[in-house]
Structure 1
């Protein structure tokens, strides 16, 4: 027999974005249930490095959300009852030549106008910030607002602090709607959760969840790999990456792209990312991706050339075509809200996203304008069909993910 329960909102997804939505909704006085087909942080969050970056975002709505979130992460690190390994390590973006440095300088000027602290670092001063950097770099920019958390811990701590009712290992099989089309809850194999609002925080499966509610959202998976070295002394002090990483983040290419992002951790291992490629939900190991990462990391930090790699892991970033997440109420389905499509920035953008969702649920003033994140912004009229040709079939659902 199905069990019934009636919170104020049901959040689908127990990653860091869903956890942040639960936390800020609870702070606003709402009762919340969180449902996930797997464990806490079992998807994209658990495969992330914990980046809280402003350095890789150009001036615009995503940077505004990142700055809001950066301030909220600092608050969370101080008030959460258990640690999330928050580390305000700062970022360092380096340029191999004068041409790249000129482009970085123009990029940084736009960021400064939006409120980012970007400090110009000449070639000689790079070694003062990172003594083990390769020689011959033209210069770079230091971003003291960049930080890091342990992502799985962060999701777990936020959920615990929210007091949300958790239903893990339960796949949502239906989004329930009334005769008018408005959301009235969700169904799993074990229970029905009646609620006037449902938040889609399902990460790479956000498109599938949207379709259960009768809405379209073009979320695609974008695979990425990370290398983990043996424990070392703190040879890398900041989050360090080359300028071409910024172009990779903004690219919509489906092909394999790689640009080393290198950072030390308090426990000793060095984390080396990041690759991007659209290969569906293919979990196969890509030796080419790993080879590129290792070579690029050693080019930035020659000291890493002879260091052992203990393991590699990978996950899928939830990608939307314009590189902005879908956040807020869906005007096509009353009671449905979205908080997905953050690609590789979900951990950094989670608190701001949660604050926006809480504002929508309570009808209060949002901390940022909704417009750029509207979930229905991808809607376009279908192209005209030639005479006597039947309409195109809808795209198939993506394959099921194993928990």
Structure 2
């Protein structure tokens, strides 16, 4: 009987399992698919502080940023996880946010001042020092040195592997191809899960099911309003040499992240990868779980990327894919024990920030499971902050 069952083997579930095992708990991770088979596998790997306004999500992002750097520096001396990137292509590349007009630049620099995080205002004439191939005509920008990048599928796999191999005082077991169908209870308390492969008794259950977190919550009889928000990513052919030095995006991306619109929104986000291809995003729209490839959306993303880096016009897009961000109405994740169902913990609803916020979420959940002070006010993320019935 494990201490904890974690439902979901994406990067958030992997982080919860890793930190729980490190705390000394015995953990079983279950997923109906493969590791990183859902939203994590369709992500860009953003580890951002630049796109968050002052408040609880920024506090969570700053904690997570530090933890990602610790994880990258904590790889073993040899083997597949060795190297300065932690085995998951951690790149402390920094992020450059650019503004098209003076008015947008004023708003952008105003936000930077309110955030209270390390950043550098970049005048129009200095943008080329950061990105020599950036298009001309931008009014200026802000550079955030703490923005970073990981390869999300590698990150999820490495965290599960590390949790399984490193901690003799806590164990981690992974079971894929296992669908959770319900919860076991003793009185009102959750004591495990029922699955397609039998019951698993446990001291606690963590709902880290990402976009499907609302469905898992519903099995326990509670409402957590998580909805899918579709996004597309373009991948170019490998570039012969470095064209883009940092993560680069327009100020419109910050607005799109905070938007409540169900309709299509796109904003240019462009970055290189260690293996050569360039990743191009980002689009947002609420269309349920429709995976239909939208050529007009892909065309818009490609056009916006070329407007940002004209040299990209010389390269081909070799593939495109979509994923579903787990969207919550107030744009904050759901983190903590559910007071309506003791023994059930939630770690979901991160929207497009799940990869960046995964270590902090896992760290906080593990401390709660171990009966320790989380060290961060979790009230803004409480699971019962939404009406029990849908409005």
Same fold by TM-score greater than 0.5 = yes
Structure 1 CA distance for aligned equivalents of residues 212 and 192 of structure 2 = 18
Aligned partner of 2:362 in structure 1 is 354
Report if aligned partners of 2:42, 2:323 keep a CA contact under 8 Å in 1. yes
Runs of 4+ in 1 over 3 A off after TM superposition: 380-383
For residue 106 of structure 1, the aligned residue among 96, 110, 116 is: 110
Deviations 1:132-161, CA, capped at 9 Å, x for gaps: 111011000000000011100000000011
Unaligned stretches of 5+ residues in structure 1: 1-5, 384-403
For residue 9 of structure 1, the aligned residue among 4, 8, 23 is: 4
Structure 1 CA distance for aligned equivalents of residues 389 and 319 of structure 2 = 47
Aligned partner of 2:290 in structure 1 is 282
Aligned partner of 2:275 in structure 1 is 267
Do residues 230 (structure 1) and 237 (structure 2) align?
A: yes
SS of residue paired to 2:314: coil
Matches of residues 4-403 of structure 1 in structure 2 within 5 Å?
6-81=1-76, 82=81, 83-112=87-116, 116-163=117-164, 164-178=172-186, 180-232=187-239, 233-379=241-387
Deviations 1:32-51, CA, capped at 9 Å, x for gaps: 00000000000000000111
Report if aligned partners of 1:185, 1:197 keep a CA contact under 8 Å in 2. yes
Structure 2 CA distance for aligned equivalents of residues 365 and 382 of structure 1 = 32
Structure 1 CA distance for aligned equivalents of residues 325 and 122 of structure 2 = 31
Deviations 1:174-194, CA, capped at 9 Å, x for gaps: 11112x221010111212110
C-alpha displacement of 1:306: 2.6
Report if aligned partners of 1:176, 1:213 keep a CA contact under 8 Å in 2. no
C-alpha displacement of 1:382: 7.7
C-alpha displacement of 1:380: 5.7
C-alpha displacement of 1:381: 7.0
Aligned partner of 1:393 in structure 2 is none
Aligned partner of 1:386 in structure 2 is none
SS of residue paired to 1:21: helix
Report if aligned partners of 1:319, 1:341 keep a CA contact under 8 Å in 2. yes
C-alpha displacement of 1:72: 0.3
C-alpha displacement of 1:266: 1.0
